């Protein structure tokens, strides 16, 4: 096939019309032809060869462009990645830019939280001995005062402890009487000193045993007045009254009347509800912006407080950490267990903060990026996201009020960033 025939075949390619000035319609066989002629088959082969050749040239051009972008990215300062694009390419990709706004004053960050009781304000009231719960004198969520009776427990162990106390009391009295008699005999030189020393040892041991039995009765919730009554009357109490150790509110009742309980089994949980804590779920990406002492508020309840601790570990499932805020319950309007929305007011740090559209911030390789307009096209710059809402995002990075960031057509720029990163 000669050169004229080749040109004729190329001119009939679908994309050749606009480049050669000819018709853009493809070349088809006439309907009256039953089979393609030899000339038609030759033209088909020529078109296939030229398409393959031009495709190779196009791939080579893309590789060269990516290599050039990688070289520019290596020379970019401040960790920027240069994405070269001309105006025609920017318009074709549908990329639009907007100006950045410098932020002033405080920034508000809204996060979910749960109201909890500080652990140091919780007291568990346990059963003083094995026995049967005769009656519960208070109900759940009821306020109590320190020393107020809250339950009665009938216990055989309590009866046995009182019996042992009375036996120790009798032994102590007997040992004291022996000591007095031995001392009188020793002074009259009627007994050796060894007998006096034995009597002194027995008396000391009896006193120690009596003190031990008395302490056991106190642990079983018998008061000093009850012990004195037992000492004087020798009358054993079959049941004991359990008293509240602190003033507060009963948050949990663990048993019911008629239940058998073991010694040290929980009966009630009492808590002081002022102040309260709020466990705030903070995403790992926001932890760097939250500091101890930041002001928090619960807008729905009109309650304010401060951050007292920021968690050092991140939950693997939620990728969040717990920041603890201490709040004033505001006369009971906030209660433990309540799920709340917490607003944290963040003071601006040493560096400036900028407000950009949320769509202008993208994530790539666990970092946040924005695309700045530049003379080469765009520069992808890593940023620190301070706060983010559906409409706007607050970022920290080196910017100027004249800078423009891309907020539309981001996918094309993100693809270029990923390609430059691979190179």
Total length of the chain: 423
Residues 349, 396 contacting (CB under 8 angstroms): yes
Torsion over CA: 64, 69, 74, 75 (sign): positive
Distance CA 339, CA 387 (A): 21
Half-sphere exposure of 416 (CA within 13 A, CB side): 27
Q: Which two tokens stand for residue 145?
A: 């005062």
For residue 416, is pLDDT > 50?
yes
**pLDDT-wise least confident of 210-219, 254-263, 307-316, 324-333:** 324-333
340-357 burial, b at 16+ Cβ within 10 Å, e below that, comes to bebbbebeeeeebbbebb
Residue range(s) of every CATH 2.40.50.100 domain in the chain: 121-271
Distance CA 31, CA 111 (A): 71
Q: Which residue has the tokens 């619960």?
A: 298
3-state DSSP call for residue 270?
strand
pLDDT band for position 27 (50/70/90)? very low
| Residue 168, Ramachandran bin (φ over 0: left; ψ between -120 and 50: alpha; else beta) | alpha
Distance CA 292, CA 340 (A): 20
Residues near 91 by Cβ (< 8 Å), separated by ≥ 6? none
162-193 burial, b at 16+ Cβ within 10 Å, e below that, comes to beebeebbebbeebeebbeebeeebeeeebee
Distance CA 275, CA 312 (A): 23
Fill in the DSSP letter of residue 290.
-
Distance CA 5, CA 41 (A): 12
Residues 284, 309 contacting (CB under 8 angstroms): no
For domain 76-105+350-422, which architecture applies? Beta Barrel (2.40)
3-state DSSP call for residue 315?
strand
Percent of the chain scoring above 90 in pLDDT: 63
Q: Which residue has the tokens 């693809």?
A: 415
Q: Which residue has the tokens 């009866």?
A: 159
CB atoms inside a 10 Å sphere around CB 113? 24
Peptide bond into 275 cis (omega under 30): yes
Higher pLDDT, 347 or 388: 388
Whole-model pTM? 0.60
Q: Which fold has domain 107-117+273-346?
A: Elongation Factor Tu (Ef-tu); domain 3 (2.40.30)
Burial class (CB in 10 A: 0-12, 13-18, 19+), 129: buried
pLDDT on residue 210: 95
pLDDT on residue 37: 53
- Give ∠ CA 165-168-174 in degrees, rounded to 5: 145
> Taking residues 15-43, what's their average pLDDT?
44
What would you measure as the largest C-alpha separation in the chain, in angstroms? 155
Distance CA 221, CA 159 (A): 13
pLDDT band for position 41 (50/70/90)? low
pLDDT band for position 230 (50/70/90)? very high
Strands 81-84 and 295-298: unpaired
Residue 61 host element (H or E): helix 38-75
Distance CA 416, CA 305 (A): 46
For residue 341, is pLDDT > 90?
yes
pLDDT on residue 421: 75
Of 357, 324, 362, 354, nearest in space to 342 by CA = 324
Residue range(s) of every CATH 2.40.420.20 domain in the chain: 76-105+350-422
> Taking residues 31-53, what's their average pLDDT?
48
Q: Which two tokens stand for residue 15?
A: 């994309």
pLDDT on residue 56: 41
For residue 221, is pLDDT > 80?
yes
pLDDT on residue 102: 87
CATH number for the domain whose boundaries are 121-271: 2.40.50.100
> Taking residues 287-297, what's their average pLDDT?
89
Residue 50 host element (H or E): helix 38-75
pLDDT band for position 387 (50/70/90)? confident
Percent of the chain scoring above 70 in pLDDT: 79
DSSP state string for 154-221: E-HHHHHHHHHHHHHHHHHHHHHHHHHHHHHHHHTT-S-HHHHHHHHHHHHHHHHHHHHHHHHHHHTT
Residues 241, 149 contacting (CB under 8 angstroms): yes
Query: How does pLDDT run across 61-104, given as a tens digit for each residue?
Result: 333 444 444 444 444 556 789 999 999 999 999 999 999 998 87
Question: Over the chain, what is the mean pLDDT?
Answer: 83
């Amino acid at each position: 096939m000669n050169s004229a025939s080749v040109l004729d075949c190329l001119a009939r390619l679908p994309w050749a019309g606009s480049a050669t000035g000819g018709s853009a319609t493809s070349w088809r066989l006439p309907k009256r032809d039953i089979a393609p002629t030899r000339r038609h088959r030759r033209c088909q082969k020529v078109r296939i060869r030229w398409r393959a050749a031009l495709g190779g040239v196009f791939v080579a051009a893309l590789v060269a462009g990516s290599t050039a972008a990688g070289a520019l990215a290596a020379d970019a300062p401040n960790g920027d990645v240069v994405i070269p694009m001309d105006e025609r390419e920017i318009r074709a990709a549908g990329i639009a830019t907007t100006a950045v706004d410098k932020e002033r004053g405080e920034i508000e960050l809204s996060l979910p939280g749960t109201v909890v009781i500080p652990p140091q304000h919780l007291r568990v009231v346990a059963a003083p001995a094995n026995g049967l719960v005769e009656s519960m004198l208070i109900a759940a969520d009821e306020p109590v005062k320190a020393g107020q009776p809250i339950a009665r427990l009938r216990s055989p162990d309590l009866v046995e402890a009182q019996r042992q106390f009375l036996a120790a009391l009798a032994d102590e009295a007997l040992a004291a009487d022996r000591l007095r008699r031995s001392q009188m005999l020793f002074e009259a030189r009627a007994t050796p000193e060894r007998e006096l020393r034995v009597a002194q040892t027995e008396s000391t041991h009896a006193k120690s045993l009596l003190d031990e039995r008395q302490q056991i009765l106190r642990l079983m919730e018998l008061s000093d007045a009850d012990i004195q009554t037992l000492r004087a009357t020798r009358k054993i109490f079959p049941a004991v009254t359990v008293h509240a150790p602190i003033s507060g509110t009963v948050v949990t009742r663990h048993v019911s009347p008629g239940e058998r309980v073991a010694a040290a089994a929980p009966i009630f949980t009492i808590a002081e509800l002022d102040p309260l804590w709020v466990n705030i779920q903070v995403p790992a990406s926001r932890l760097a912006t939250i500091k101890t002492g930041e002001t928090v508020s619960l807008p729905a309840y009109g309650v304010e407080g401060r951050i007292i601790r920021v968690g050092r570990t991140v939950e693997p499932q939620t990728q969040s950490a717990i920041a603890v805020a201490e709040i004033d319950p505001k006369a009971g309007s906030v209660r433990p267990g309540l799920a709340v929305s917490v607003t944290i007011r963040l003071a601006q740090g040493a560096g400036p903060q900028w407000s950009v559209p949320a769509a202008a911030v993208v994530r790539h390789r666990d970092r946040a990026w924005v695309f700045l307009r530049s003379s080469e096209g765009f520069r992808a710059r890593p940023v620190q996201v301070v706060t983010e809402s559906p409409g706007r995002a607050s970022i920290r990075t080196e910017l100027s009020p004249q800078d423009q960031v891309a907020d539309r057509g981001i996918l094309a720029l993100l693809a270029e960033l990923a390609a430059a990163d691979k190179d």
